[in-house]
Structure 1
Amino acid sequence: MSSTRVGLRLAACLLNISKARKKDVVESIARAAVADDNGQSRAQTTVLNIFSDYDYNRSVITISAPIDGLGSSVTAACIKAFSLIDMETHDGVHPCLGAVDLVPIYPLCGVSVSECARVARGISQDLAALVPGCSFFLFGKADEPEERGLAQKRKDLGWFRKDTVDVEAIRPDVGGGPSRRYGLTGIGASPYVMNCNCTLDTQDLSVAKEIASAIRATSKGGIPGVQAMAFPHNGKVEVACNVESIEDTEVAPPIDEGLEFFSYKILGQSYSYALPRSIESRIQMLAARHGLATAGTALIGFTPLECKRLAEYAILHNIGEFWKHRKGVFM
């Protein structure tokens, strides 16, 4: 059944929190998105997936709902996360800015990026009022008027480092100066961004950094829409990629470089993203030049159309905690 036929205008939040090593804490944050403290369900909201990485001590919670209700569900999950995560005791390989690290809002069906930006700004304002001491920077379409992307805003602000950062020197977009407990949270809106991480069978971080640099969209010959970093991970190293959906232009993707792209439309606007298997192939090719092999690739969550399809199913069947039921259900 199509979301258009039943009037669902869907968006998603891939909520990034700085906690992975306590499953009960992560799941309580996910549950807060779909039910209040009394167990009353939030209508038409679902948590599709929870991806937790022990080394990174970071989890990504995929929340989806109609655009008009997504903000309140995400706000509730963030409030719960702020109450349970203390950045002063946080330890993990992945750089992070805050207890609630990122709150990106993405359109799925019948929703514009501008609408997602309004929701993102509303979440930041609500949280600033409800959780004293929280601080936020805005990115993407929510960052008015410059609309700077996440990578640029992070560069402008610097990574949060609880032991060295001059907290008082940071000037957030919303809220007061960052506290040591909560850190700094990024909230924004853009076309859908996937996370695709490829592990190299080595402990040589310098090689992984070289490969990450080579595939970035900003590098000559890089992959359009890809941002990449390299980190130690489970005794090896990992090239972690953000894979952006980019607006189609008259310039075709460089398919002659062996890259494959998938195109889709929302409200008549066409977007394309590099396929994970294509990113993996490029990394494998670059690794082979160093005599290395890859040791697996993980897609964190879903592609945009998978996210849309599963959200439609979960909401229409009233499955709020979909992450518990996902296996064997409409895939």
Structure 2
Amino acid sequence: MPKIVECVPNFSVGRNKEIIEAIAGAIAAVEGCNLLDVDPGASTNRTVYTFVGSPDAVIEGALCAARVAYQTIDMRMHQGEHPRMGAMDVCPFIPVQNVTMDDCIVCAREFGDKLAEELGIPVYLYGAASTQEHRKTLPQIRAGEYEALPEKLTKDEWKPDFGPSDFVPSWGATAVGARTFLIAYNINLLSTKEQAHRIALNIREQGRCKEEPGRLKEVQAIGWYLEEANMAQVSVNITDYEQTAIHTVYEEVCKDAEELNIAVVGSQVVGLVPLDAIMACAQHYMEKHNLFILEEDQKLRLVINKLGLNSLGAFSPKERIIEYMISDEREGPLASMDIKDFILTVGSRSPSPGGGSVSALAASLGAALGSMVGFLTYGNKKFFELDSQIRKLIPPLYKAMKDLTPFIDADALAFSEYMLALKLPADSEEEQAMRSAAMQDGLCTAIQVPLTVSRLTNGLWDPLKELAKIGNINCKSDLQVGVRMLETAVWGAYYNVKTNLDDVKDEEFKKKVSEEIEGAIKIAQENCATVLKTLEERKA
């Protein structure tokens, strides 16, 4: 998997289309940078850019954007609703794929150093990149905003991390940091700016002061007025969405608004949002209203409706959810194939895809048939009294169906990894050692894939045994085929594991894996027989 870092610089320009487009063009022109989103705001006079790429690429992309801003933005002329202190006001680096927070700290410090050196401007580090507690957060660093900088820069405690302590009137100062994913989220109110800010003070962690903290952890918020939309907003940054969810913020604002007799008219995601943050909202509303929804797109529709995310413009998941943005295909090439093409590919003169990929497909199909039987029982008037039980049986089968599908490609990739190791040079002793180590790593990967398939498959027997007792009897043959497919999938995993184990040198590893896969076969055989027996004995 490639290393992917997200960069989300905020520039103090939101009304000049030419400057906004010039900055976007500078980022997009950098090889390896993928510009995902440009979100300008007229009232805030601020534009948020979101792009991803390798660590080196995003550093270069941010530098190119800053160069354009240096030539085109003059902070002496800037006015806007959003707090700000510089032309490039803030530039965070966020880990997305195959990178750590430490990697992003390195990005932030390297970028901050280069930015200050090239442009001669003061740069402060914040978030995980900062080492000073009194200037760890953006509100701490931005206190007093642009207007406070001339005096602030003269104080020892506010000496920049990079660059001069000189005030640069046209630029101001920039905060560069490393952080986890931040969700910028606004709730729309038919109210005054003052009323919106009053609610913001109630909910944000900082509250009004130390003696009057707010209700929600990891939440920053202010109230402002959108002239272009003729309404106010509680503008929120959720710095840890696992601690405080989007729906929690929305409902807390709704509660305060109701007490003040203020209408809430939807909300707005600024920039991008992680898929699991949206799915957490879906789960909340499903539980709250006792809904049974499994399809991802239906969960998205539920959240969009409940939060009113279309209120200021269409919320397109493909353009707002980061996982959808950074991957053109959420499935691998094999899983995405037409059925006919997949069969022909398996049947071609090539060792991959082979038995491992077919076993993963069999497991996914077996789970799919179990899920189908559940759905053909649920909601059926004849089985209405079973709905509460069936609602518990379908989700694990449906989830496994989707979770097993990527292993169709994973098995082929594992085989490729081993074949690449075989082709490494082995002329010197050092090369031989490296080749041997790479081959052993490849074998272990090739073993772990089918082993995981067997684990996921064997995790389905409990719901399947229950479904065999109460499921729609008209689907008897479908469930019989399904469990046979699952048993076959475990047999496939068994043969693949055993084959690869022959060449593994780690005897302890061999013994442990061998015992597990031998046990997996027994589990699959016994449980498959139990389900089939139950189905044969059922009369109705």
TM-score by length of 2: 0.48
1:190 and 2:161 matched: no
**Structure 2: how far apart are the matches of 1:198 and 1:107?**
27
Q: Which has the higher helix share?
A: 2
SS at match of 2:221: strand
2:98 partner letter: G
Counterpart of 1:59 in structure 2 is 47
Output aligned runs, 1:146-225, within 5 Å: 146=133, 148-155=136-143, 158-161=144-147, 165-166=150-151, 169=154, 171-176=159-164, 177-203=166-192, 205-219=193-207, 222-225=215-218
| Residue of structure 2 in register with 1:280 after alignment | 250
Aligned-residue offset at 1:293 = 1.0
Contact 1:215 1:228 in 2 (8 A): yes
Deviates more, 1:85-94 or 1:167-176: 167-176
Alignment of 1:125 onto 2:89: no
**Cα deviation, residue 167, structure 1:** 6.3
Partner in structure 2 of residue 47 of structure 1: 35
AA in 2 matched with 1:140: G
User: Aligned runs of 1:126-141 on 2, under 5 Å?
Assistant: 126-132=114-120, 134-141=121-128
2:77 counterpart (82, 85, 89): 89
Post-superposition shift, 1:225? 1.7
Query: Unpaired runs of 5+ in structure 2?
Result: 208-212, 276-320, 330-540
**Which 10-residue stretch deviates more, 213-222 or 123-132?**
213-222
1:229 maps to a residue whose letter is: I
- Structure 1 273/313 Cα, relative in aligned 2: closer, same or farther at 3 Å? farther
Q: Residue 66 and residue 213 in structure 1: after superposition, are their counterparts in 2 closer, same or farther (change >3 A)?
A: same
Q: Deviations over 1:146-204 (max 9, x none)?
A: 4822223334xx31128x9536526322111231000111110111111001121112x
Bigger radius of gyration: 2
- Structure with higher RCO (Cα < 8 A, 6+ apart): 1
Whole-angstrom CA distance in 1 between matches of 2:14 and 2:326: 24
Contact 1:10 1:308 in 2 (8 A): no
SS at match of 1:183: coil
Aligned residue for 1:222, secondary structure, equals coil
Match of 1:266 in 2: none
Match of 2:224 among 208, 225, 231: 231
Tell me which of 316, 324, 328 is aligned to 1:313: 328
2:22 maps to which residue? 28
Give the deviation of 1:309 after TM superposition. Answer: 3.6
TM-score normalised over the length of structure 1: 0.76
The 5 A counterparts of 1:6-17 are 7-17=1-11
Q: CA deviation at 1:60?
A: 0.2
How many residues align structurally?
272
Supply the distance in 2 between the matched residues of 1:221 and 1:185 (Cα, whole angstroms): 28
Q: CA RMSD in A?
A: 2.1
Q: Give per-residue Cα distances to partners, 1:209-260, cap 9 Å, x unaligned.
A: 2211121134556222211111222243221111112xxxxxxxxxxxxxxx
Q: 2: distance between equivalents of 1:168 and 1:124?
A: 17
Contact 2:203–2:219 (Cα < 8 Å) also in 1: yes
Residues 18, 101 of structure 1: 8 Å contact kept: yes
Percentage of identical aligned residues: 26
Q: For residue 129 of structure 2, what is the aligned residue in structure 1? A: 142
Q: Which secondary structure does the structure 1 equivalent of 2:140 belong to?
A: helix
Alpha-carbon distance change, 168 to 281 in structure 1, aligned in 2, over 3 angstroms: closer
Which amino acid in structure 2 is aligned with residue 304 of structure 1? P
Contact 2:221/2:236, CA 8 A, preserved across alignment: yes
Matched, 1:112 2:100: yes
What SS does structure 1 have at the residue aligned with 2:223?
strand
Q: Which has the higher strand share?
A: 1
Q: CA deviation at 1:273?
A: 5.1
Residue 173 of structure 1 aligns to a residue whose secondary structure is coil
**Higher alpha-carbon deviation: 183-192 or 228-237:** 228-237
How much has 1:16 moved relative to structure 2? 0.3
Question: How big is the shift at 1:142?
Answer: 1.0
Question: Against the structure 1 CA distance between its residues 193 and 168, is the aligned structure 2 distance closer, same or farther, given a 3 Å change threshold?
Answer: closer
Cα 1:145–1:180, aligned 2, differ >3 Å: closer, same or farther? closer
Taking the aligned partners of 1:279 and 1:188, their CA distance within structure 2 comes to 25
Contact in 1 for aligned 2:188/2:231 (Cα 8 Å)? yes
Q: Which runs of 5+ in 1 are unaligned?
A: 1-6, 36-41, 246-260, 262-271, 315-331
CA distance in 2, matches of 1:70, 1:222: 36
In the alignment, residue 151 of structure 1 is paired with which amino acid? Answer: P
Offset of residue 312 of structure 1: 3.1
Check whether the contact 2:201–2:214 (CA below 8 A) recurs between aligned residues.
Answer: no
Matched residue of 1:137: which SS?
A: strand
> 1:88 Cα shift?
1.1
